[in-house]
Structure 1
Amino acid sequence: MTGLNAGSISTMVNGNRALSVEQLDRITTAMGYIKGYFYEQYIEEYLAQIALNWRRIKPFLYRCAELDKQGCIQQVIGLLLDKLMYSSCLFDLAEEFFKDGKYAIAAILYEGVALSEKSQHSERLALCQYRLFMARQGDNQEQNYQAAIEFHSFVDRLHEVDQLDALKDLANTYRSLRRWDKVEIVAQKLKHKAKIQYSLHQQNKKRKQNKKTSRPLFFYLAYSNLLRAGVCDAYEDYEQALKYTYAYADLSWVKETDEDTQHWKNLFKGWAQANTYVNRLLSGEVGILAEYVSYIEPRKNEIFSALVNIIEAANRFNIDVDNILQRFEKEITEYIQQQQQAVGHYTQQHISEQFTRFLHELAFYYLSKGIYPDGFEYLLICLGKSSIINNKSSIIKCIGLFELFREQAFSETKAAYQKLIKEVYANEKKNRDNVVGD
């Protein structure tokens, strides 16, 4: 039934032959149990009792990952922690899982490696912390911020090339959290380090680079200016924001001409054009609105970001944008439905923050105009999403806006609001208990 010969079974039963996970799976299936049924016992009664062998442990960890047996992986790491010789093996395996998108499994291995090397000031320890930071990015903004703070001090311990991507990712997290003070600090550091690496690259073009960044080197210099333009926008310093925007728009100094370089140069050019419209609009040049709408309409991927800026400008300068909202009604409806179903992932965090900001601005727009059904509908959606992603600032703004217009709310709306507030409280308690538990 197992496909194993009687002699092999006999030597296993007598303890004279090692039992591999593949053989264990065959025996388990023959006995009528699901794969993984005996894994906890296999660790306690077998792996813990014999000399550890990576050739036996690695396939077992792979199988645990396939079956999402995270507890078993933690048990095995516990057996290996005292032996630093396994640290590099665990790290390499974690890298494989990370590349495959198995972030939760990879995080367990990275945590084990980091724990075994906590007294070291190694590059591998810093790289573990970088991967853990990325793996922990999701919809919960408070957890994203904690992960960023924990990782921040490890950036300078990374290889000089890895530091560029790490700073980019760190800045993106701070930007999604609207922590502009942090974005400014990281962007300045990114620019400084990118200048050095780009200069070294130009001096040693013929020398083969062992490590490569995920983007062309010029990208990090240009991106630092894009980040700083965003900081200036947030502080309403639109004149300075335009200077940074022009800086990343003009990439004539870039010497490379390969396809990847051209791709990113074109993207920066497009971002600069769109953000120039945004700067002019939010600084009060409302006459640019029609031109801005015409610019973004054929660019489907930019419509939502543009609508966030347009509705913010409408509220700030008391502009009627009903015709624009009607023009993009289909896109708005589809986007709201999509975002309500979206699950957490680190690439989603900035979009989630933008989404709640858009809903709040839209709610304010309709409530201010006395269109209460639409206003309260968007406000309640915003409050619900803000609670899910643990965006405390957005939750507070939603509560303040509801109280401002409470007298105009129907009893059904007040009931729905009270229900959401209870959920907000429950989520906050759950998040607080998780922090205490950690």
Structure 2
Amino acid sequence: MAGSSRVQAAFAHLFKEMRERSGLSYRDLERPTLASRGWINNVASGARWPDRSWASRADDALNSGGLLLAAWDRANIEREVEKRTRSLLLVSVKDSGDILAATNPDAVDVDGLGERVASLGVAYLSSPATPMLSQGLQLRQEAIRRIKEGAARPHEFKDLYLAAGRASGVLSYAALDLGEPDAATTHARTAWRLADLADDDEQRAWVRGTESLIARFRKDYALATSLITDGLKYAGPGTSVVRLLCGAAQCAANSGDSEMAQHLLGRALDARDDATPDTVNGLFSFSYAKQLYYAGSSLIWLPDEPALRKAEQDSGRAIELWEQEGEQFRSFDDEALAHVYMATARLKLGEIEGAMDAVRPIIELPDDRQISWIRKRVGELSLLLDDERFKHSTVAADAREELRGAG
């Protein structure tokens, strides 16, 4: 809800105003408030909500005479009310959905169910993982119920298997974004079984690409490459080939094979020229912006300056394209990660301030948008600042503290 952002911003504004009036820096406030500069900076930007004890210490340190603490109390009351309202709204929507399903479970035809799953795949690109998990599970249960009960015409069973398989794909992505690769693997295996039952090669290729993504999350690049090789057997005229080749490039780059990584990215660009539209969009398609994002996320692992410059450029172009994309193709999580990859390239090039400019909007995202990939990559970015060449850099020390304070 917008209200929480508003009251949090109002408290942050008052804190900044009080700090500027006091003449104290974030460094000066570290000891009396028991927090790091990076953590305090996130409070000042409205990205982090402190607890009352911190607000009390800050009130004392800034000599605000209880004004800052009173502002925190007012804002927190409003935040709690909104939290309860949001929870009640979610429960009420679920209850209505359950009533509709119980009173007329087959009111929506099979085509309509498939369209709802396809819409979920589009919605996933701009939604937090948790509600997607709930909706994906509900749709899959409905598809499986119809299969078990025979609540469809004979020619519709393939569509039900496809709907259940795509819902399983949504569940797999949601689990991985929540940092649960074991659960993601189970959902992906289920999606594969259902793609087999539907005898759909496009879905088979997509599932293999997703299983490879999970393996890359675990840094098992040998398995990830093997899954891509198998997926290419099923890839058809859509964007499956492009997605799989880009995934293979990530594997090669992470394994230190610069020449192969760049060769595979080149093949993916050639494949893009021949690709036709996918059957469904959103999570189940692979846009050009996503291809550039994959290129950037591959090239950042290569040691040479031209590759790092290209990684920075491709990540930037991906962000620009996503900012212009419609909802069917714009992935907010990947757009956020592209900022992190741009920052990584800049940091490896020694450009600390440029790196922080790129990543700062991402570390200020609300917690429900900080998916596991973002936390993982920002953590790796922080470790890069421990490099020997930054040992005596105060700019590096400040950046390191800001990144770790955001964790």
Question: How does the TM-score come out when normalised to structure 1?
Answer: 0.47
Match of 2:359 among 327, 332, 335: 332
Partner of 1:248: 268
Bigger Cα displacement from structure 2, 295-304 vs 225-234: 295-304
Tell me the equivalent position of 2:247: 227
Q: CA deviation at 1:137?
A: 3.3
Computing the radius of gyration over CA atoms, which structure comes out larger, 1 or 2?
A: 1
Q: 1:350-409, CA deviations, whole angstroms, 9 ceiling, x for partnerless residues? A: 445433332343466798557556434423433xxxxxxxxxxxxxxxxxxxxxxxxxxx
Matches within 5 A, 1:224-373: 224-251=244-271, 254=274, 278=300, 282=302, 284-286=303-305, 288=306, 292=310, 295=313, 299=317, 301=319, 304-311=340-347, 313=348, 321=350, 324-338=351-365, 341-344=366-369, 350-362=373-385, 368-369=391-392, 372=397
Q: Where do 5+ consecutive residues of structure 1 fail to align?
A: 1-63, 199-216, 258-263, 315-320, 383-438
| Cα deviation 1:213-257 (Å, max 9, x = unaligned) | xxxx2x322322211111111222223323322322344983979
Match of 2:224 in 1: 183
The one-letter code sitting in structure 2 at the alignment partner of 1:193 is Y
1:255–1:93: structure 2 CA closer, same or farther, 3 Å change rule? closer
Q: Which amino acid aligns with 1:335?
A: I
AA at the equivalent of 1:149: T
Q: Label 1:366 to 1:89 Cα distance change in 2 as closer, same or farther (>3 A).
A: farther
Percent identity, please: 8
Match of 1:140 in 2: 178
Q: Deviations over 1:155-199 (max 9, x none)?
A: 4333233334444444445444544344323311221112xx34x
Which secondary structure state, in structure 1, belongs to the residue aligned with residue 259 of structure 2?
helix
The residue that corresponds to 2:140 in the other structure is 110
Q: Distance in 1 between matches of 2:183 and 2:308?
A: 41
Please state whether the residue corresponding to 1:224 is helix, strand or coil: helix
> Gapped runs of 5+ residues in structure 2?
1-87, 124-130, 151-156, 278-285, 320-337
The amino acid across from 1:238 in the alignment is S
Q: How much is the aligned-residue C-alpha RMSD, in angstroms?
A: 4.7
Which deviates the most, 242-251 or 227-236?
A: 242-251
Between the two proteins, the alignment pairs up a number of residues equal to 270
Query: Matches of 2:273 and 2:310 in 1, distance apart?
Result: 29
Match of 1:160 among 201, 207, 215: 201
Contact 1:175/1:183, CA 8 A, preserved across alignment: yes
Distance in 2 (CA, whole Å) between partners of 1:255 and 1:296 is 20
Look up the match of 1:131: 167
Contact residue 177 and residue 353 of structure 1 kept, 8 A: no
Partner Cα separation in structure 1 for residue 315 and residue 229 of structure 2: 34
Give the Cα separation in 1 of the matches to 2:310 and 2:203. 37
Do structure 1's residue 379 and structure 2's residue 399 form an aligned pair? no
Task: Rate the CA distance shift 1:337–1:295 in 2: closer, same or farther, 3 A.
Answer: same
Q: CA deviation at 1:118?
A: 5.9
Q: Distance in 1 between matches of 2:364 and 2:373?
A: 17
> In the superposition, relative to structure 1, how do residues 156 and 267 fare at CA in structure 2: closer, same or farther (>3 Å)?
same
Conservation of the 8 A alpha-carbon contact between 1:184 and 1:231: yes
Alignment of 1:32-111 (within 5 A): 68-71=92-95, 73-74=97-98, 86=106, 89=109, 92-93=112-113, 95-96=115-116, 99=119, 101=123, 103=132, 104-111=134-141
CA contact (8 A) 1:176 1:349 kept: no
Higher relative contact order (CA 8 A, sep 6+): 2
| Structure 1 residues 192 and 87: alpha-carbon distance in aligned structure 2, compared to 1, 3 A threshold | farther
